[in-house]
Each structure stands twice: as structure tokens, then as C-alpha cells.
Amino acid sequence: MGSALRNRGIRAVLTGGACASIHSAGAYSSLDLDFVVTDSTTVTALDAAMQTVGYRRDRDHYTNPRTEFFVEFPPGPLSIGDDSDLRPVLRARGAARFWTLSATDSCRDRLAAFYHWKDRQSLAVALQIALANRVNMKRIEKWSLAEGAEQGFREFRQELASARREVASAASAARQRKKTAAGRAPGARTK
């Protein structure tokens, strides 16, 4: 999809749930792909680019009869809350190349839904993104405070610390089980 747009000279950044799915290593899934166009283009140019990959416009989104995934182009500018200083990253999947939000910005995108709409699922996805990636916590904190979400950020930080402890504990237990099993292996020497 992103390559089809890039091949037509349209710069668009994958955002929203599909981006969160990538950064959460599949812990979250979405049936829509949201691309924010970051340069000027026309609906005709979008239609032509989308047709190259089998998608046709249906009012405000694009569908393809061969897949349940649909594509939307939310209006720009590319921003999260009041912050438009985003740093998209170019990703590759096979031969496809496409722009996405960074892991930090995808985490902030999910946190915005938690902060402003009290969406607990978005908090859970933000946690999965932060567990699966190195995110810039100082940037997330600064943005959270600017959004007036100090309490929401505090909750996110506490739940992330708890989740990291759980992951570390589970990894330690797995190493211990492996070590114990190796000690019981046939032919293993004992003292």
C-alpha cells in the first residue's frame, strides 16, 4: 500500500491501529489502515494509486473485494494531540517500503485515546508498544504534560513498570526451568 502511494509520488504515513499492530508485534490487530498524506495531492491521484493495488474508493474509504482490510486517509496535518513535530520512519516488509509513525509516536497515539477518551484498550496497546520497543519516555512524558494528562501518564508509567517486572520474572523463571531441566538430562553428571 505504502509503496503504491510512494510510486505515485504521494507521501503518506501509516498511523492508528495498523501502525500500533506493527509496533506491538501483533499483540493488537486492526482491520483498517489509516494513512495521513503529508504533502498536497488530489483525490484523483489517490484513486489512481489505490487502484494499482486493487482498492476502489467507497465514499470516504477504500475497499478491496479480495481482503477485509480497508484504507482511510484521515485529514492532516500529521499530529498527535497538539504535537505536529513527528518523526516518521521508513519501514520495509518484503519488497514494500512505507512510512509509519515511530514506536514512540505510535505509543503516544494510543495514549492520546486513553487520555482524552478514557479508552483502556488503547492504554493496553500503548503498554504493548512500549514493551516491544525502545520508546523515548522523556518525549512521552513531556507531551503528556503538555496534553494535560499528568495523571494518565503516571498510570501508564506505573503499569509499564509492573509489566516489565512481570516480563523479567517470567524470563527468569524460564531460565531457571531450562537450567533445572538441563541438570536432569540423561547422561548429565551430578555431584
What is the number of other CB atoms lying within 10 angstroms of the CB of residue 64? 16
Q: How far apart are the first and last CA of the chain?
A: 61
Are residues 115 and 21 in contact, defined by beta-carbon separation less than 8 angstroms? no
pLDDT higher for 87 or 137?
137
How many percent of the chain have pLDDT more than 90? 81
**pLDDT band (50, 70, 90) for residue 189:** low
Q: Map out the domains of the chain as residue ranges.
A: 2-165
Are residues 127 and 160 in contact, defined by beta-carbon separation less than 8 angstroms? yes
pLDDT higher for 56 or 81?
56
Give pTM, 2 decimals.
0.88
Residue 185 pLDDT:
60
35 sits in which H/E element: strand 32-37
Are residues 131 and 162 in contact, defined by beta-carbon separation less than 8 angstroms? no
Average pLDDT over residues 56-78: 96
Question: Which DSSP symbol is given to 81?
Answer: T
CATH T-level fold of 2-165:
Beta Polymerase; domain 2 (3.30.460)
Question: Which DSSP symbol is given to 68?
Answer: S
